[in-house]
Amino acid sequence: MKIKLAKSYGFCFGVKRAIKIAENSKGAVTYGELIHNPLEIKRLKEECGVGLAKELSEIETKKVIIRTHGITKSDKQFLIENGKELIDATCPFVTKPQQIVEKMSGEGYDIVIFGDEKHPEVMGVRSYSLNPDRTFVVLSVDELQKLKLRERVAVVAQTTRKVTHFLEIAQKLVEKYKEVRVFNTICNATFENQTAVEVLAKEADVMIIVGGKNSSNTKQLYLISKRFCKDSYLVEDKDELKSDWFKGKNLCGVSAGASTPEWLIRNIIEKIQQIKEDNDE
């Protein structure tokens, strides 16, 4: 069995940047998980002394790192008012839809955000609207059809959404409303990893996707992979790998979500290699 990595996988620019910021911020805490990967968060705690506060009330340090997905405007305000020193690790690709929503809502546009309303990034982006009553989060065309929007609409997307789905949303809006401003805020890193996983899943007979199970972009990679290779598995750590998955297989493809560290991917590949050798004996 051969093991092959996807052409593009793993850490994106925004996560690399956030980790570097955290590594240089000893003694700080991140408000919310810096990135969606429990093992990397553990490493930052152990090696760099960067803690995690899940609630605002848990923050005891002066320095607070804002996670890659950003936070809500009111949380930011609260931290500033409480004398915290903010270290902003928000990915610039997340800051962009925040700014668009603020500007376009200020200009009187109804806002549509294509994404998951419970995702921290979307909650953050939504909070920047100057007109919350005219700001809507939708996850499907069906949800969109139920909305009664005014004539002028601006639409943005959660950075990790699929381009094809965003196009469907944009198309429906354009068909129905007079003035529609479409801002493609989907991040290229996600797109590149998605294209690469599709190419690899088509040729592989088993696929391992490495990443946090709470990471939206890792889950999306897994779903794409599953579509083209039915034996696709999503794992967070090497202990989850099962030798049965690899029996009788010729090509094992490996990809990883945008917040999966390189050391973890290497560990997984080593373990697959070991399983392969055991299976061959």
Buried b (16+ CB within 10 A) or exposed e, 140-159: eeeebeeeebeeebbbbbbb
Interface residue with ligand F3S, options 187, 196, 204, 206 (CB under 6 A): 187
Q: What is the DSSP letter of 67?
A: P
Query: Nearest distance from residue 69's CB to ligand F3S, in Å?
Result: 7
| 14 contributes a contact to ligand F3S by CB under 6 A | yes
Residues near 208 by Cβ (< 8 Å), separated by ≥ 6?
232, 233, 235, 241, 245, 252, 253, 254, 255, 268, 272
Q: Which residue among the candidates 60, 121, 151, 281 is catalytic per the annotation?
A: 121
| 189 contributes a contact to ligand F3S by CB under 6 A | yes
| 159 contributes a contact to ligand F3S by CB under 6 A | yes
Q: What is the DSSP string of 91-160?
A: -HHHHHHHHHHHHHHHTT-EEEEES-TTSHHHHHHHHT-S-GGGEEEESSHHHHHT----SEEEEEE-TT
Instruction: Tell me if 172 sits within 8 A of 145, measured CB to CB.
Output: yes
Q: Can you read off the two tokens belonging to residue 144?
A: 């969109």
Active site includes 270?
Answer: no
Residues of span 43-62 touching ligand F3S by CB under 6 A: none
Residues of span 72-111 touching ligand F3S by CB under 6 A: 91, 93-94
Interface residue with ligand F3S, options 5, 13, 102, 143 (CB under 6 A): 13
Q: Can you read off the two tokens belonging to residue 224?
A: 């794409």
Interface residue with ligand F3S, options 190, 215, 216, 232 (CB under 6 A): 190
- Closer of 215 and 238 to ligand F3S (Cβ): 215
Stretch 199-228: interaction string toward ligand F3S, x if CB under 6 A? ------------------------------
Q: How far apart are the first and last CA of the chain?
A: 13
Stretch that binds ligand F3S, among 12-20, 150-158, 194-202, 260-268 (CB under 6 A): 12-20
Active site residues: 121
Applying CB under 6 A, which residues contact ligand F3S? 12-15, 68, 91, 93-94, 159, 187, 189-190, 258
